Amino acid sequence: MSKLAFLFPGQASQYPGMGRDLAENFPESRAVFEQADAALGFSISKLCFEGSEDALRLTENTQPAILAVSVAAYRALESRGITPGFAAGHSLGEYSALVAAGGLDFTPAVKLLRSRGRYMQEAVPAGEGAMAAIMGLSPADVLEVCRKAAQGEVVSPANLNSPDQIAISGHAAAVKRAVEIASQSGAKRAVMLSVSAPFHCALMAPAQQRLEPDLRATQFNNLRFPVITNVDAETIASGDEARDALIRQVTQPVRWLDCVREMIDSGVSIFVEVGPGKVLSGLLRQIDRSVRCFNVEDAASLQSTLDKIAAARSEASDAG
Protein backbone atom coordinates (compact mmCIF):
# COMPACT_ATOMS: atom_id res chain seq x y z
CA MET A 1 0.00 0.00 0.00
CA SER A 2 1.33 3.46 -0.92
CA LYS A 3 2.08 5.44 2.24
CA LEU A 4 0.07 8.65 2.53
CA ALA A 5 1.00 11.91 4.30
CA PHE A 6 -1.07 15.03 4.94
CA LEU A 7 0.53 18.49 4.62
CA PHE A 8 -1.09 21.49 6.32
CA PRO A 9 -0.43 25.00 4.94
CA GLY A 10 0.80 28.09 6.79
CA GLN A 11 0.55 31.83 6.40
CA ALA A 12 0.26 33.22 2.82
CA SER A 13 -2.10 30.42 1.76
CA GLN A 14 -5.21 32.38 2.81
CA TYR A 15 -7.66 33.84 0.28
CA PRO A 16 -11.12 35.46 0.51
CA GLY A 17 -13.95 32.92 0.39
CA MET A 18 -11.83 30.02 1.62
CA GLY A 19 -13.72 27.25 3.39
CA ARG A 20 -17.20 28.40 2.34
CA ASP A 21 -17.70 25.52 -0.10
CA LEU A 22 -16.62 22.98 2.56
CA ALA A 23 -19.10 24.42 5.08
CA GLU A 24 -21.93 24.41 2.54
CA ASN A 25 -21.33 20.80 1.45
CA PHE A 26 -20.19 18.87 4.53
CA PRO A 27 -21.86 18.97 7.97
CA GLU A 28 -18.61 17.82 9.65
CA SER A 29 -16.79 20.79 8.09
CA ARG A 30 -19.56 23.23 9.01
CA ALA A 31 -19.29 22.02 12.64
CA VAL A 32 -15.59 23.04 12.69
CA PHE A 33 -16.44 26.64 11.73
CA GLU A 34 -19.24 26.77 14.33
CA GLN A 35 -16.77 25.51 16.96
CA ALA A 36 -14.20 28.15 15.92
CA ASP A 37 -16.77 30.97 16.13
CA ALA A 38 -17.83 29.83 19.62
CA ALA A 39 -14.23 29.48 20.83
CA LEU A 40 -13.11 32.92 19.59
CA GLY A 41 -16.29 34.84 20.46
CA PHE A 42 -16.56 36.33 16.95
CA SER A 43 -17.34 34.97 13.49
CA ILE A 44 -14.04 33.76 12.05
CA SER A 45 -16.21 31.77 9.59
CA LYS A 46 -17.65 35.04 8.21
CA LEU A 47 -14.10 36.38 7.93
CA CYS A 48 -13.07 33.27 5.91
CA PHE A 49 -16.17 33.23 3.70
CA GLU A 50 -16.76 36.97 3.17
CA GLY A 51 -13.81 38.88 4.65
CA SER A 52 -11.49 41.12 2.62
CA GLU A 53 -7.95 40.18 1.69
CA ASP A 54 -6.66 42.90 4.06
CA ALA A 55 -8.66 41.57 7.03
CA LEU A 56 -7.46 38.03 6.33
CA ARG A 57 -3.86 39.21 6.10
CA LEU A 58 -3.81 40.42 9.72
CA THR A 59 -1.71 37.76 11.42
CA GLU A 60 -4.03 37.32 14.41
CA ASN A 61 -6.86 36.59 11.90
CA THR A 62 -4.82 34.61 9.38
CA GLN A 63 -3.56 31.99 11.81
CA PRO A 64 -6.90 30.81 13.32
CA ALA A 65 -8.61 31.19 9.92
CA ILE A 66 -6.17 28.86 8.13
CA LEU A 67 -6.43 26.36 11.01
CA ALA A 68 -10.24 26.35 10.74
CA VAL A 69 -10.23 25.77 6.97
CA SER A 70 -7.53 23.09 7.22
CA VAL A 71 -9.32 21.18 9.99
CA ALA A 72 -12.64 21.51 8.11
CA ALA A 73 -10.97 19.93 5.05
CA TYR A 74 -9.37 17.25 7.24
CA ARG A 75 -12.74 16.31 8.83
CA ALA A 76 -14.24 15.81 5.36
CA LEU A 77 -11.38 13.46 4.43
CA GLU A 78 -11.49 11.65 7.77
CA SER A 79 -15.23 11.01 7.53
CA ARG A 80 -14.57 9.31 4.18
CA GLY A 81 -12.10 6.92 5.77
CA ILE A 82 -8.88 8.62 4.58
CA THR A 83 -6.25 8.84 7.31
CA PRO A 84 -2.53 9.48 6.83
CA GLY A 85 0.54 7.57 7.96
CA PHE A 86 2.28 10.89 8.71
CA ALA A 87 1.46 14.59 8.88
CA ALA A 88 3.40 17.83 8.88
CA GLY A 89 2.37 21.47 8.83
CA HIS A 90 4.23 24.58 7.70
CA SER A 91 4.65 26.93 10.69
CA LEU A 92 1.09 27.50 12.01
CA GLY A 93 0.16 24.40 9.94
CA GLU A 94 1.87 22.30 12.61
CA TYR A 95 -1.11 23.13 14.88
CA SER A 96 -3.47 21.79 12.17
CA ALA A 97 -1.36 18.62 11.89
CA LEU A 98 -1.51 18.12 15.68
CA VAL A 99 -5.29 18.61 15.75
CA ALA A 100 -5.64 16.03 12.96
CA ALA A 101 -3.38 13.61 14.88
CA GLY A 102 -5.38 14.06 18.10
CA GLY A 103 -2.45 15.71 19.92
CA LEU A 104 -4.36 18.94 20.51
CA ASP A 105 -8.10 19.63 20.65
CA PHE A 106 -9.45 22.08 18.08
CA THR A 107 -10.93 24.64 20.53
CA PRO A 108 -7.68 25.33 22.45
CA ALA A 109 -5.73 25.22 19.14
CA VAL A 110 -7.81 27.99 17.54
CA LYS A 111 -7.47 30.15 20.69
CA LEU A 112 -3.70 29.53 20.83
CA LEU A 113 -3.28 30.61 17.20
CA ARG A 114 -5.31 33.78 17.74
CA SER A 115 -2.91 34.66 20.59
CA ARG A 116 0.18 33.46 18.71
CA GLY A 117 -0.73 35.73 15.79
CA ARG A 118 -1.18 38.70 18.11
CA TYR A 119 2.07 38.01 20.02
CA MET A 120 4.02 37.74 16.76
CA GLN A 121 2.47 40.94 15.42
CA GLU A 122 3.32 42.82 18.63
CA ALA A 123 6.87 41.43 19.01
CA VAL A 124 8.33 43.86 16.48
CA PRO A 125 7.00 47.39 15.77
CA ALA A 126 5.46 47.76 12.29
CA GLY A 127 8.08 48.49 9.63
CA GLU A 128 11.06 47.39 11.73
CA GLY A 129 11.06 43.76 10.59
CA ALA A 130 10.88 42.16 7.15
CA MET A 131 11.20 38.89 5.25
CA ALA A 132 12.51 38.05 1.79
CA ALA A 133 12.60 34.98 -0.46
CA ILE A 134 15.87 33.91 -2.03
CA MET A 135 15.79 31.52 -4.98
CA GLY A 136 18.67 29.53 -6.40
CA LEU A 137 21.26 29.68 -3.59
CA SER A 138 22.22 26.79 -1.30
CA PRO A 139 21.46 26.93 2.45
CA ALA A 140 25.19 27.47 3.13
CA ASP A 141 25.28 30.38 0.64
CA VAL A 142 22.17 31.96 2.18
CA LEU A 143 23.74 31.67 5.65
CA GLU A 144 26.83 33.47 4.34
CA VAL A 145 24.67 36.18 2.71
CA CYS A 146 22.90 36.73 6.07
CA ARG A 147 26.24 36.88 7.91
CA LYS A 148 27.52 39.59 5.55
CA ALA A 149 24.25 41.56 5.65
CA ALA A 150 23.74 41.53 9.42
CA GLN A 151 26.08 44.39 10.42
CA GLY A 152 25.03 44.01 14.04
CA GLU A 153 21.35 43.47 13.22
CA VAL A 154 19.32 40.23 12.99
CA VAL A 155 18.88 38.46 9.66
CA SER A 156 18.74 34.67 9.32
CA PRO A 157 17.17 31.81 7.32
CA ALA A 158 13.53 31.44 8.45
CA ASN A 159 11.95 28.91 6.07
CA LEU A 160 14.11 26.27 4.33
CA ASN A 161 11.31 25.51 1.89
CA SER A 162 12.88 23.59 -1.01
CA PRO A 163 16.28 23.11 -2.67
CA ASP A 164 15.53 26.26 -4.63
CA GLN A 165 13.77 28.51 -2.11
CA ILE A 166 14.76 29.88 1.29
CA ALA A 167 12.99 32.71 3.13
CA ILE A 168 15.02 34.96 5.41
CA SER A 169 13.80 37.09 8.27
CA GLY A 170 15.04 39.88 10.53
CA HIS A 171 15.48 43.65 10.81
CA ALA A 172 14.12 45.38 7.69
CA ALA A 173 17.41 47.11 6.80
CA ALA A 174 19.43 43.89 7.20
CA VAL A 175 16.95 41.90 5.10
CA LYS A 176 17.16 44.55 2.34
CA ARG A 177 20.98 44.34 2.45
CA ALA A 178 20.75 40.55 2.22
CA VAL A 179 18.53 40.81 -0.87
CA GLU A 180 21.13 43.02 -2.58
CA ILE A 181 24.03 40.73 -1.59
CA ALA A 182 22.10 37.61 -2.68
CA SER A 183 21.39 39.19 -6.09
CA GLN A 184 25.09 39.97 -6.51
CA SER A 185 26.02 36.43 -5.34
CA GLY A 186 24.19 34.69 -8.18
CA ALA A 187 20.70 34.13 -6.73
CA LYS A 188 18.10 33.51 -9.46
CA ARG A 189 15.77 35.87 -7.60
CA ALA A 190 15.76 37.70 -4.29
CA VAL A 191 12.55 39.53 -3.40
CA MET A 192 11.07 41.21 -0.35
CA LEU A 193 7.90 39.46 0.90
CA SER A 194 4.69 41.22 1.83
CA VAL A 195 4.39 39.97 5.43
CA SER A 196 3.36 41.76 8.59
CA ALA A 197 6.19 40.51 10.84
CA PRO A 198 9.65 38.87 10.66
CA PHE A 199 8.67 35.28 11.51
CA HIS A 200 10.95 32.47 12.73
CA CYS A 201 13.95 34.53 13.80
CA ALA A 202 15.46 35.87 17.04
CA LEU A 203 13.24 39.00 16.87
CA MET A 204 10.30 36.71 17.74
CA ALA A 205 11.73 36.01 21.24
CA PRO A 206 9.10 38.25 22.96
CA ALA A 207 6.32 36.29 21.18
CA GLN A 208 7.87 32.99 22.25
CA GLN A 209 8.06 34.17 25.88
CA ARG A 210 4.37 35.12 25.85
CA LEU A 211 3.21 31.96 24.05
CA GLU A 212 5.13 29.49 26.23
CA PRO A 213 2.90 29.82 29.36
CA ASP A 214 -0.22 29.47 27.15
CA LEU A 215 1.17 26.25 25.65
CA ARG A 216 2.23 24.93 29.08
CA ALA A 217 -1.32 25.50 30.37
CA THR A 218 -2.85 23.58 27.42
CA GLN A 219 -3.46 19.84 27.50
CA PHE A 220 -1.61 17.86 24.83
CA ASN A 221 -2.29 14.18 24.11
CA ASN A 222 -0.30 11.39 22.50
CA LEU A 223 -0.65 11.30 18.71
CA ARG A 224 -2.72 8.84 16.66
CA PHE A 225 -0.14 9.06 13.86
CA PRO A 226 3.33 10.64 13.79
CA VAL A 227 3.82 14.34 13.06
CA ILE A 228 7.14 15.64 11.71
CA THR A 229 8.08 18.87 13.52
CA ASN A 230 9.34 22.05 11.84
CA VAL A 231 12.19 22.60 14.31
CA ASP A 232 13.83 19.17 14.23
CA ALA A 233 12.38 17.58 11.05
CA GLU A 234 11.87 14.41 13.11
CA THR A 235 8.77 12.38 13.95
CA ILE A 236 7.14 12.80 17.34
CA ALA A 237 4.49 10.66 19.01
CA SER A 238 3.85 12.29 22.40
CA GLY A 239 1.97 15.40 23.50
CA ASP A 240 4.95 16.65 25.51
CA GLU A 241 7.20 16.53 22.44
CA ALA A 242 4.52 18.36 20.44
CA ARG A 243 4.27 21.17 23.01
CA ASP A 244 8.06 21.55 23.24
CA ALA A 245 8.37 21.77 19.43
CA LEU A 246 5.66 24.46 19.23
CA ILE A 247 7.45 26.58 21.84
CA ARG A 248 10.82 26.41 20.04
CA GLN A 249 9.21 26.86 16.62
CA VAL A 250 8.47 30.58 17.15
CA THR A 251 12.11 31.71 16.91
CA GLN A 252 13.60 28.77 14.98
CA PRO A 253 13.59 28.18 11.20
CA VAL A 254 10.99 25.97 9.54
CA ARG A 255 12.96 23.03 8.10
CA TRP A 256 10.32 22.18 5.52
CA LEU A 257 12.65 20.58 2.97
CA ASP A 258 13.99 18.21 5.65
CA CYS A 259 10.45 17.43 6.90
CA VAL A 260 9.34 16.35 3.42
CA ARG A 261 12.50 14.34 2.82
CA GLU A 262 12.01 12.57 6.16
CA MET A 263 8.53 11.45 5.02
CA ILE A 264 9.76 10.34 1.59
CA ASP A 265 12.58 8.37 3.26
CA SER A 266 9.91 6.72 5.43
CA GLY A 267 8.15 5.45 2.29
CA VAL A 268 5.55 8.17 1.63
CA SER A 269 4.71 8.41 -2.07
CA ILE A 270 1.34 10.25 -1.93
CA PHE A 271 0.93 13.66 -0.28
CA VAL A 272 -2.32 15.56 0.23
CA GLU A 273 -2.24 19.29 0.97
CA VAL A 274 -5.17 19.75 3.36
CA GLY A 275 -6.41 23.34 3.58
CA PRO A 276 -6.41 26.53 1.52
CA GLY A 277 -4.26 26.96 -1.58
CA LYS A 278 -1.50 24.93 -3.21
CA VAL A 279 1.67 26.55 -1.84
CA LEU A 280 2.98 23.28 -0.35
CA SER A 281 2.12 21.32 -3.51
CA GLY A 282 4.31 23.76 -5.45
CA LEU A 283 7.19 23.33 -2.98
CA LEU A 284 6.82 19.54 -3.16
CA ARG A 285 7.34 19.65 -6.92
CA GLN A 286 10.61 21.52 -6.32
CA ILE A 287 11.69 18.90 -3.74
CA ASP A 288 10.82 15.62 -5.50
CA ARG A 289 8.88 15.20 -8.72
CA SER A 290 8.57 11.42 -8.33
CA VAL A 291 5.95 11.63 -5.55
CA ARG A 292 2.31 12.52 -6.12
CA CYS A 293 0.61 15.47 -4.50
CA PHE A 294 -3.12 16.25 -4.41
CA ASN A 295 -5.01 18.90 -2.46
CA VAL A 296 -8.31 19.32 -0.63
CA GLU A 297 -9.83 22.77 -0.10
CA ASP A 298 -13.42 22.38 -1.40
CA ALA A 299 -15.93 19.72 -2.53
CA ALA A 300 -14.48 19.41 -6.06
CA SER A 301 -10.87 18.96 -4.94
CA LEU A 302 -11.99 16.48 -2.24
CA GLN A 303 -13.74 14.28 -4.82
CA SER A 304 -10.82 14.52 -7.23
CA THR A 305 -8.34 13.58 -4.47
CA LEU A 306 -10.45 10.62 -3.29
CA ASP A 307 -10.54 9.32 -6.89
CA LYS A 308 -6.79 9.82 -7.38
CA ILE A 309 -5.88 8.12 -4.07
CA ALA A 310 -8.06 5.14 -4.99
CA ALA A 311 -6.45 4.93 -8.46
CA ALA A 312 -2.91 5.23 -7.04
CA ARG A 313 -3.59 2.52 -4.46
CA SER A 314 -5.07 0.14 -7.00
CA GLU A 315 -2.06 0.76 -9.28
CA ALA A 316 0.28 -0.01 -6.36
CA SER A 317 -1.58 -3.23 -5.45
CA ASP A 318 -1.54 -4.35 -9.11
CA ALA A 319 2.20 -3.66 -9.23
CA GLY A 320 2.67 -5.56 -5.95
Chain segment 233-251, per-residue pLDDT in tens: 999 999 999 999 999 999 9
pLDDT(283) > 90? yes
3-state SS, 255-306, equals: CHHHHHHHHHHCCEEEEEEECCCCHHHHHHHHHCCCCEEEEECCHHHHHHHH
User: What pLDDT is stored for residue 313 in this prediction?
Assistant: 82
Q: CATH number of the domain at 3-122+203-319, out of 3.40.366.10, 1.10.600.10, 3.40.50.720, 3.20.20.70?
A: 3.40.366.10
pLDDT given at position 320: 62
Q: Which residues are catalytically annotated?
A: 91, 200
The predicted model gives 71-83 an average pLDDT of 97
Kindly state the percentage of the chain with pLDDT values over 70. 99
Average pLDDT, integer, range 16-39: 98
Q: What are the CA-CA distances from residue 24 to residues 29, 95, 185, 261, 307 (Å)?
A: 8, 24, 50, 36, 21
Mean per-residue pLDDT, 145-161: 98
Buried b (16+ CB within 10 A) or exposed e, 71-84: bbbbbbbbeeebeb
Percent of the chain with pLDDT over 90: 93
Query: Is residue 128 over pLDDT 90?
Result: yes
Task: Give residue 1's pLDDT.
Answer: 56
Tell me the pLDDT band of 103, cut-offs 50, 70 and 90: very high
Is the domain covering 129-195 a CATH 3.30.70.250 domain?
yes
Task: Give the mean pLDDT of 112-126.
Answer: 96
Entry pTM: 0.97
Q: What is the pLDDT of residue 318?
A: 75
The CATH 3.30.70.250 domain(s) of the chain lie at: 129-195
- Distance between CA atoms of 32 and 23, rounded to whole angstroms? 8
Arithmetic mean of pLDDT, 187-197 = 92
Residue 232 has pLDDT above 90, yes or no: yes
**Section 255-277 average pLDDT:** 97
Residue intervals of the chain classified under CATH 3.40.366.10 are 3-122+203-319
Segment 198-221, tens digit of pLDDT:
999 999 999 999 999 999 999 999
